[in-house]
Amino acid sequence: MSGHHDSSYAPRSTFNLASFGIYVVIALFALICLFPMLLTVIVSLSSEDSITKHGYSLFPDRLSLDAYRLVFAQGHVLAQAYFVSVFVTIIGTVLAVVITGMAAYTLANKNVKYRNGLALYFFITMLFSAGLVPWYIMCTKLGLKDNIWALIIPIQLFNPFNMFLVRNFMDSLPNELRESAYMDGANDMRIAFQIYLPLCVPVLASICLFYAISYWNDWFNAIMLVSNKNLYPVQYLLLQIKSNIDALKMIPSGALNATVPAETTKMATVVLTIGPIVLLYPFLQRYFVKGLIIGSVKG
């Protein structure tokens, strides 16, 4: 007994070549992923002449803030557009997640008689669309024009794909949870909000990111339904700035006193628009993969 040596208690080596190799590969991959973002920031801080002569470079000949001066030339308008985008993204995402979660709970509830027919109805909307003209007429008839709800309700408020992800996640939960809650006298509203939705945090965090990105990047609703400049989201405002710069590029260079910062302004607009989403993702990342995997394995 004394001569027996248990290998499980042998000291582990502090240096593992395989782990070191994995860390090196991951670090290199992370640097490759960060390279486009770093290049975008540097190009936005470069002079237009430097880009024209040498192209995109991590080490430009001359730095310049002309692009940011052009974008911030109307500071109040840009601040207003940012406020509109942040408000629309927060309110729209919260409403969309709640509506999606409630619809998913209905389809996951085996006591709902026609839940398979409802699921087919939602699935059909993923394949077919009535078209742009009926969509516009319906929005105007519902009063979704030149108001903040025109940026929240159309298109982004509900996505059937996200709903099916949540429904599949709920299907993986034991049905005994619902049955025992019924026996204790709870109704479906209480079961959904106090039992099912708290257990679905991983998949809800995933669709929250999807909805937030969709709302933040949206400019189509503003083009189609908004003419009030005070309601322009930041994406639409920056799209207008880019369009104005492209128009200035058509003017002969001799007629302008300075070079139009076209390329640097494009990169500056990218830097200004990706910030909130980049800050949001780390908070949801730990739920993201788990939510997608569990929500997609069952159909």
15-73 pLDDT tens trace? 678 888 888 899 999 888 888 888 888 888 888 778 878 778 788 888 888 888 877 87
In terms of Cα–Cα distance, which of 167, 160, 162, 163 is closest to 196? 167
Return the higher-pLDDT residue of 292 and 203: 203
* pLDDT, position 255: 53
Q: pLDDT band for position 96 (50/70/90)? A: very high
Q: Per mean pLDDT, which range of 72-81, 137-146, 274-283 is the poorest? A: 274-283
Question: What is the rounded average pLDDT of the residues 99-119?
Answer: 89
* pLDDT, position 297: 47
DSSP-derived 3-state class of residue 179: helix
Give the separation between CA 41 and CA 57, rounded to whole angstroms.
11
Task: State the angle between helix axes of 262-297 and 234-249 in degrees (0 to 180), rounded to the nearest 10.
Answer: 140
**Residue 201 pLDDT exceeds 70:** yes
Give the separation between CA 202 and CA 293, rounded to whole angstroms.
10
Residue 194 phi/psi, 5-degree rounding, is -105, -15
Note the pLDDT tens digit of each residue in 216-245.
Answer: 988 899 999 998 888 999 888 888 877 877
* pLDDT, position 101: 92
* pLDDT, position 52: 77
Neighbours of 225 (CB within 10 A): 20
* pLDDT, position 55: 77
CB neighbour burial string for 16-51, b if at least 16 within 10 angstroms, e if fewer: eeeeeeeeeeeeeeeeeeeeeeeebebbbbbbbebb
Cβ distance 269 to 45 under 8 Å?
A: no
Structure tokens at 293: 């995997």
* pLDDT, position 104: 92
Note the pLDDT tens digit of each residue in 73-86.
Answer: 777 888 888 899 99
Q: Mind listing the domains of the chain with CATH numbers?
A: 73-297 (1.10.3720.10)
